[in-house]
Amino acid sequence: MQALQVTIEAQVNTMATDKPNKLDRVVAEARQAREKREQGYRERALKMYPHICGRCGREFDRSNLHELTVHHRDHNHDNNPPDGSNWELLCLYCHDNEHQRQLEAARGYTSESSNRSAATHNPFADLKAMMDQKKDK
């Protein structure tokens, strides 16, 4: 009886700890890889550009430099050309604003990342076509 109980406990322990640990590790590794990559372009961008927000002109020094962030002009964080042409230094607030504006501009448009169900039925598809036409002329 004693032996059976030990076996069951061992199994329960295995079930409870094995999977989450593995998942945690995978998640942690992915996050570390991303942070490392972000650290890489952030340092390069900070070396390349003056520590000034590109929108509001706020200046930064060592004490508040963590509030200065690297924005990707094309919003693709994997696009990091060595000449820094895709980077813009923005303070936290302006960076937030910048993305908010992009979100609002993209609202109603078919977007792979934000709304998959809208891709099959998109009431704004005609509107988008109209706006695209206007832009061209």
Binding site for Zn ion (CB under 5 A): 53, 55-56, 58, 71, 91, 94
Q: What is the per-residue burial (b if ≥16 Cβ within 10 Å, else e) of 38-72?
A: eeebbeebbeeeeeebbbeebebeeeeeeebbbbe
Query: C-beta of 90: minimal distance to Zn ion in Å?
Result: 6
Query: C-beta of 37: minimal distance to Zn ion in Å?
Result: 15
Query: C-beta of 116: minimal distance to Zn ion in Å?
Result: 23
| Cα distance between residue 137 and residue 83, in whole Å | 33
Query: C-beta of 114: minimal distance to Zn ion in Å?
Result: 15
Complex with Zn ion: residue 45 or 94, whichever CB lies closer: 94
Backbone angles phi, psi at 88, to 5 degrees: -145, 130
Check: CB of residue 65 under 8 Å from CB of residue 46.
yes
Complex with Zn ion: residue 93 or 109, whichever CB lies closer: 93
Complex with Zn ion: residue 74 or 136, whichever CB lies closer: 74
Backbone angles phi, psi at 69, to 5 degrees: -120, 165
Q: Is the dihedral of CA 41, 112, 54, 58 positive or negative?
A: negative
| Cα distance between residue 92 and residue 109, in whole Å | 26
Complex with Zn ion: residue 31 or 101, whichever CB lies closer: 101
Query: C-beta of 121: minimal distance to Zn ion in Å?
Result: 30
Complex with Zn ion: residue 104 or 136, whichever CB lies closer: 104
